[in-house]
Amino acid sequence: MTLTQDLSTNASTNIAPVQHPLEPLTAAEVQAAVAIVRAEKAVGDAFRFPCVMLNEPPKSTVLNFQAGDAVEREAFLILLDNATGATYEAIVSLSGATVKSWKQMPQMQPNIMADELAECETAVKAHPEFQAAMAKRGISDLDLVVVDPWAIGNFGFEDEVGLRLSRCLCYLRATADGNFYARPIDGVVPVVDLNKMQVLRIEDIGVVAVPPEPSEYAARFMPSLRQDIKPLHITQPEGPSFEVDGHFVRWQKWQFRIGFTPREGLVLYTIGYEDQGRVRSILYRASMAEMVVPYGDPRPQHFRKNAFDLGEHGVGMLANSLTLGCDCLGEIRYFDAVLTNSRGEVAVTQNAVCMHEEDYGILWKHTDWRLDEAEVRRSRRLAVSFIATVDNYEYGFFWYFYQDGTIQYEVKLTGILLCGALGDAPKYGTVVAPELNALNHQHFFCMRLDFDLDGAKNSIYEVNTAAEPMGAENPYGNAFYAELTLLPSEQAAQRIVDPFTARYWKVVNPNVQNRLGQSVGFKLAPGENVLPFAHPDSPILQRAGFMTKHLWVTPYEASERYPAGDYPNQHPGGEGLPQWTQANRSIENTDLVVWYTFGHHHIPRPEDFPIMPTAYAGFLLKPVGFFDANPALDVPPSPPKPSCH
């Protein structure tokens, strides 16, 4: 759960003007949006507010905005009526204090909210059948029992249609402050109607012994800690090199805007780089658009474990407040996230986004031994990040900007493995403690990258390296070359990685050339990746079909925001990228959006337990002909510093 600061729910009539149309909603604007909807649409206490956020203005409005222009401020809301189960979308004009749009979304389930999780656990623990199931297992102290509600998914069961459901996992702490994830109570699965907050059934699959070891990780449980770690200080006595104005950031020729949504978390807008006295656009909007974690154990206790961490829960709502312990070092600038709880009350996640500079080793170097001189430059990067706790896992989402024009995106995965009692199926996991099986699983992240590379009209190429056949032109068999293939349409652009051809994809602006006559471009260089092991006919691949390809490309359409559709919670699937791209629209020399999916494959190790050392996954965006030469030639040398030893 995030640390929040609750504010008054009274609507403010004095909403301060903002300086830019992409500035996130302020607390006063959120209050006003909720109050306007309540007043105009008779929204009562039965309603929840899964989402209140900025309704982003049209792209043309943002790109043509000039300082001093009037800004039409709008809020986008999703509402859930617990009394009827109906879902609504609303657009509120904050400038006009009115509801501009109100529509019901039939058969759609919004994300599960933190308030629902807490209420669900209370309802389960109070249910006599659950208490009896615990007593059957010799568990009498319900204060040590943890009920962890999960999204139920969609597996085609008729009795689940039209209901808002959660299927709960249960655990038993060894002590009141212990690690409950180490001790699953397998065989007991409460199913709850979240609208009525009523337990529908207690699935009792059979008594399974609770794994015996507490497997603690907190410092208070460690018998001793290392004594040989000396302090490591990172200081910037003159302050950081970045400048911040509201949510607008400048650093080392980079500039961009920071946003934050309940679903995606951190969003970056209008990313550009200053080159030869002008700011050149690269990306209009960049975010992680969906994240799915499919587990690989087919047993009744586990087969439904396929979490859509954005569409079913919302990583922005689960963002850590870094007031509880920062994960960054140096001179740090924080940004708060203005959100709501499910009742529409403003809740501010303090210090949700962290920004700081890092030393990153050598930027470039050469030693000319004939002149007996060396030129070397230190690299530094700007890190912009947030961290979300999604049940057992922690995810750090990091954007890095480098002085040479490179952008990196990296997910840092840590936290606690999802485990089950060993039972009779250890082949689908790894034994990490006595009678405890850590389940095989994968993590898939889908990025939405709205390119505006030196303007809106872009194209994309696939680049593979090929070996020249031996012959008259290659008598010694050493020749190889890069082969570019234009991807002209949505169907042609559904691609997977191929490390054996060193495959990457290059976005270019065919209308702008560098001084060498080459189309300016940026390449997407894949990092670690994998494909899903789920069967093509499995429910999870019907719902998250975007996982079957690493690259998708679509023409820009403002409403196409999420690769598995707007409402994946309990949805049977087929929406999002697989549906949109059936039209096979042209993506040549147009305003295009690149969707890149990367997966982290996790066969657990004993060393990943009881808490997992951080794993890393991501990709790079690197300039290819975007600049006339190395843009980091003007980075000054670092003054030499004597060693203290």
Neighbour tally for 9: CB within 10 Å: 15
Query: Distance between CA 580 and CA 84 in Å, rounded?
Result: 31
SS3 181: helix
> What residues have CB less than 8 Å from 475, skipping those under 6 apart?
none
Query: Distance between CA 625 and CA 481 in Å, rounded?
Result: 17
391 is catalytic: no
Q: How far is CA 510 from CA 14, 164, 588, in A?
A: 48, 49, 9
Radius of gyration of the chain (CA): 26
309 is catalytic: yes
DSSP codes, 120-158:
HHHHHHT-HHHHHHHHHTT---GGGEEEEEEE------G
Find the catalytic residue in 171, 393, 400, 409: 393
Q: How far is CA 447 from CA 236, 285, 340, in A?
A: 33, 11, 25
Query: Distance between CA 593 and CA 324 in Å, rounded?
Result: 37
Query: Distance between CA 140 and CA 150 in Å, rounded?
Result: 24
Alpha carbon 103 to chain centroid, angstroms: 28
> What residues have CB less than 8 Å from 628, skipping those under 6 apart?
514, 515, 516
> What is the residue type of 287?
S
Name the token pair of 610.
């009881």
Find the catalytic residue in 186, 297, 309, 391: 309
Burial class (CB in 10 A: 0-12, 13-18, 19+), 335: buried
Active site residues: 309, 393
